[in-house]
């Protein structure tokens, strides 16, 4: 089954409004001349989202994402931002379950599940991240870890029509180490098989599954050319317009 590629930039704790404007000034003209069909997403820090949305007004090629949200709708939760607020300022996607949220901020599968539901309730799309540590991979726990993250993160969610899954081996994020194309394909195929077990084969065939973990222009073509890899969630290489566009260019080959 043919699935559209979705290539997303995760800027993490980088780029205030001024830096984002400079990036888009360089990036948008390249995209306008780009013949590829990949969906493009920019995940900006909360304070940068409104300016990115304003600069992309009328641009149907590039969507805007938030990097996180609260599972709560409103109330006494100082420092939190709800999915409804992010919808109001123009976000279309929200990243959930990123390894940095899991490991640094202690987010559980149950919390991530609640966030996925809150996002879907607002008509937005989660980019739902899963992935194993090097210790878990070397200890033979890859499949059990991913199965638990998928099963618990998607608990009581009936449809995956508006969910993107991003498989990110934790040991390859920001390290410069990348899973081989064969390793990534094998794991993404396993993820799709779990979706088939939880839902059905039709759902598994349709859901977009990105790869993340030191994706850069030089390896994007091979990685994104794999049968079960439907795009990339890009960190460091998405901070420069030329680098991020290079990934898009190579994904189309």
- What is the residue-averaged pLDDT of the chain? 95
Q: What is the pLDDT, as a whole number, of residue 251?
A: 85
Domains defined for the chain, CATH in brackets: 6-251 (3.20.20.70)
**Which position among 98, 107, 132, 136 bears the catalytic label?**
98
Q: Known catalytic residue: 168?
A: yes
Active site residue 182: no
Helix axes 142-153, 109-121, angle to 10 degrees: 40
pLDDT cut 90: percent of the chain above it: 88
How confident is the model over 37-57, as pLDDT tens digits? 899 999 999 999 999 999 999
Under DSSP, the state recorded for 225 is T
Could you read off the pLDDT of 190-201 as tens digits, one per residue?
999 999 999 999
Q: What is the pLDDT of residues 61-73, one digit of tens each?
A: 999 999 999 999 9
pLDDT in tens, 100-120: 999 999 999 999 999 999 999
For residue 75, give every residue at least 6 positions away whose Cβ sits within 8 Å of its Cβ, in sequence order, or none: none
Q: What pLDDT, on the 0 to 100 scale, is given for residue 1? A: 53
pLDDT beyond 80 at 77? yes
Query: Of 71, 100, 132, 168, which is the active-site residue?
Result: 168
């Amino acid at each position: 089954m043919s699935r559209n590629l979705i290539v997303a930039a995760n800027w993490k704790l980088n780029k205030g409004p001024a830096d984002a404007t400079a990036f888009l000034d360089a990036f948008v003209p390249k995209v306008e001349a780009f013949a590829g069909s990949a969906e493009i997403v920019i995940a900006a820090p909360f304070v940068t989202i409104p300016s990115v949305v304003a600069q992309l007004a009328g641009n149907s090629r590039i969507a805007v994402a938030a990097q996180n949200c609260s599972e709560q709708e409103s109330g006494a939760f100082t420092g939190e931002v709800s999915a409804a607020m992010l919808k109001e300022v123009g976000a279309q996607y929200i990243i959930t379950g990123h390894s940095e949220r899991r490991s640094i901020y202690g987010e559980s599968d149950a919390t991530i599940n609640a966030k996925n539901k809150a996002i879907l309730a607002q008509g937005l799309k989660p980019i739902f991240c899963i992935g194993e540590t090097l210790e878990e991979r070397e200890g033979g726990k890859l499949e059990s870890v991913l199965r638990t993250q998928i099963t618990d993160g998607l608990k009581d969610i009936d449809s995956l029509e508006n969910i993107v899954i991003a498989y990110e081996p934790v040991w390859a994020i920001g390290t410069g180490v990348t899973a081989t194309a064969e390793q990534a394909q094998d794991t993404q195929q396993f993820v799709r098989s779990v979706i088939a077990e939880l839902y059905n084969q039709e759902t598994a065939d349709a859901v977009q599954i990105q790869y993340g973990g030191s994706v850069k222009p030089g390896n994007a073509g091979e990685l994104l050319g794999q049968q079960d890899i439907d795009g990339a969630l890009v960190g460091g290489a998405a901070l420069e317009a030329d680098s991020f566009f290079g990934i898009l260019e190579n994904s189309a080959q």
